[in-house]
Amino acid sequence: MQFDESYTLPVRARAAGCVILNARRQLLLVQQARSPLRGLWHLPMGRVEDGETPQEAAVREAREETGLQVDLVHFLDAYLGRYDDGGRVQRFVWLARALPGELLDPTPDAEIMDRRYFDLEDFEALYAAGQVRMHHTRLALHAALELLQRRPDLL
């Protein structure tokens, strides 16, 4: 049996981002500045531009949204999500680490109003309060933590 086009799910957009953990295994999140999602927290992530690989987009978005130059350590997963209008988005996520000497840029800008590291308990409280933009953030964090249980040498 041939799996023809009826088995394909069209994707409107592709995005890429990173789970960035510090030495204490705290998760770096950024807080959205633009409405209608203003105030919600999410992974450093954004659209894959034309001619760009998802890996390049993940590194670029981390730099643009946090000020950090990162190294992609391990691919975590590709998540399929949807927009309110039903359009699908495919999100590629890597475990990443900041390069030595890199410092988080605390300066708010038009896109990101805050950048902060969260303990797992604080993240879960944010998630329970509806302050995390996407469920994929939680899935990716837990995938990263499970990976690090098996491979602590990655960070």
For residue 147 the two structure tokens come to 């990976």
Band of the pLDDT at 62, cuts 50, 70, 90? very high
For residue 8 the two structure tokens come to 């394909």
Query: Given this model, what pLDDT does residue 83 score?
Result: 87
State the Cα–Cα distance between residues 135 and 53, nearest whole angstrom.
Answer: 24
Compute CA 76 distance to the chain's CA centroid, rounded to the nearest angstrom: 11
Cα angle: 99, vertex 46, 21; to 5 degrees: 35
Band of the pLDDT at 77, cuts 50, 70, 90? very high
Checking if the pLDDT of 8 tops 90, the result is no
pLDDT tens-digit series, residues 116-131 = 999 999 999 999 999 9
The total number of structural domains that make up the chain:
1
Q: Where residue 90 sits, what CATH number does that domain have? A: 3.90.79.10
Sign of CA dihedral 143, 96, 131, 79: negative
State which residues form the domain around 121. Answer: 5-101+108-154
pTM assigned to the model:
0.93
Query: Given this model, what pLDDT does residue 106 score?
Result: 86
Between 105 and 135, the more confident residue is 135
| DSSP codes joined into one string, 9-70 | ---SEEEEEEEEB-TT-PEEEEEE-STTSTT-EE-SEEEPPTT--HHHHHHHHHHHHHS--E
